[in-house]
């Protein structure tokens, strides 16, 4: 059975517009792809520790001893083995919440999600063919004058290259906190995009 990993970084939980959009996408996706098993990883429940010195020292020691089967690497193996990955995270401070960064640091493990070949070239080791970021933003960061500030989707796209995931997709509803905009119309458009994307993702 094919596996879709859903990484939930929507800090506001059930009040989150990003999570509502992600649930809309996943429900359309599951209807179209009943053969795919969806597994959710809820980062608010995981409460992973940042890489404080002692956390990193332990990880380095395990890695050097070749103990990549230690439970502390489970999240990295889960990511590496998924066939499809969907990350839902609101746009915070021009990128995404710190809990997602902590998760990404945890899953970025040499010889699990990425590695190096005999010539020293970086090689991606993750199985997924596609990763989708679902986000909502208060402002508009797709405009020619603001796009350069956007650092969330851009970072995840670059990480996909490192992990060996060839296809990065973005589903985004933006301008939601701008009083000049019709929020409901923006979200309705994003839900339509989610349905279309569920067919080709
Ligand atoms: C801590 C925090 C930081 C935010 N930073 C930004 C920002 O840098 N740019 C922006 O356009 N919106 C920002 N916003 C607004 C959110 O992106 C927007 O309200 C989004 O829809 C929230 O998603 P949610 O409903 O899933 O939590 C921020 C919101 C919060 C709570």
pLDDT for position 197: 98
The 10s digit of each residue's pLDDT in 30-87 is 999 999 999 999 999 999 999 999 999 999 999 999 999 999 999 999 999 999 999 9
Residue 48: which residues within 8 A CB-CB, separation 6 or more? 75, 99, 102, 103, 106
pLDDT for position 1: 87
Residue burial 181-200, b: 16+ Cβ < 10 Å; e: rest: eeeeebbeebbebbbebbee
Averaged pLDDT of the chain? 98
Cα 85 to chain center, whole Å?
Answer: 7
pLDDT for position 18: 98
As for how many domains the chain has, the answer is 1
pLDDT for position 175: 98
For residues 188 and 153, give the distance between their C-alpha atoms in angstroms, rounded to a whole number.
21
DSSP string, 79-120: HHH-SEEEEE---BTTB--HHHHHHHHHH--BTTTEEE-TTS
Three-state DSSP state, 132: strand
In which element (H, E) is residue 36 found?
Answer: strand 36-42
Q: What is the CATH number of the domain that holds 63?
A: 3.40.50.360
Enumerate residues lining ligand 1, CB below 6 A.
10, 12, 16-19, 90-94, 136-139, 176-177
Between the CA of 90 and the centroid of ligand 1 the distance, in Å, is 6
pLDDT for position 50: 97
Would you tell me the crossing angle of helices 17-32 and 183-200 to the nearest 10 degrees? 30
Ligand 1 pocket: which of 133, 135, 138 to mutate (most atoms within 8 A of CB): 138
For residues 140 and 144, give the distance between their C-alpha atoms in angstroms, rounded to a whole number.
10
- Among residues 170, 102, 95, 174, the alpha carbon closest in space to that of 133 is found at 170
Between the CA of 138 and the centroid of ligand 1 the distance, in Å, is 5
How many Å from the N-terminal Cα to the C-terminal Cα in the chain? 16
The 10s digit of each residue's pLDDT in 137-146 is 999 999 999 9
The 10s digit of each residue's pLDDT in 143-175 is 999 999 999 999 999 999 999 999 999 999 999
pLDDT band at 12 (very low <50, low <70, confident <90, very high): very high
pTM over 0.95: yes
Q: What is the mean pLDDT of residues 119-134?
A: 98
Q: What is the mean pLDDT of residues 130-136?
A: 98
For 184, the domain range is: 2-200
User: Is the per-residue pLDDT at 186 higher than 90?
Assistant: yes
Ligand 1 pocket: which of 91, 148, 183, 190 to mutate (most atoms within 8 A of CB): 91
């Amino acid at each position: 059975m094919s596996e879709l990993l859903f990484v939930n970084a929507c800090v506001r939980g059930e009040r989150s517009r990003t999570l509502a959009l992600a649930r809309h996408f996943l429900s359309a996706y599951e209807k179209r792809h009943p053969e795919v098993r969806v597994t959710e990883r809820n980062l608010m429940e995981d409460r992973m520790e940042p890489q404080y010195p002692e956390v990193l020292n332990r990880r380095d020691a395990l890695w050097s001893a070749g103990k990549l089967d230690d439970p502390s690497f489970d999240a990295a193996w889960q990511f590496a083995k998924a066939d499809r990955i969907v990350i839902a995270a609101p746009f915070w401070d021009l990128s995404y919440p710190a809990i997602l960064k902590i998760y990404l640091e945890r899953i970025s493990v040499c010889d699990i999600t990425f590695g190096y070949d005999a010539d020293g070239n970086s090689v991606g080791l993750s199985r997924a063919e596609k990763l989708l970021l679902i986000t909502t933003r208060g402002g508009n960061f797709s405009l020619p004058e603001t796009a350069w500030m956007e650092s969330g989707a851009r970072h995840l796209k670059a990480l996909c290259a490192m992990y060996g995931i060839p296809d990065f997709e973005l589903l985004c509803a933006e301008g939601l906190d701008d009083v000049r905009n019709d929020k409901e119309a923006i979200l309705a458009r994003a839900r339509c995009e989610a349905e279309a994307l569920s067919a080709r993702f």
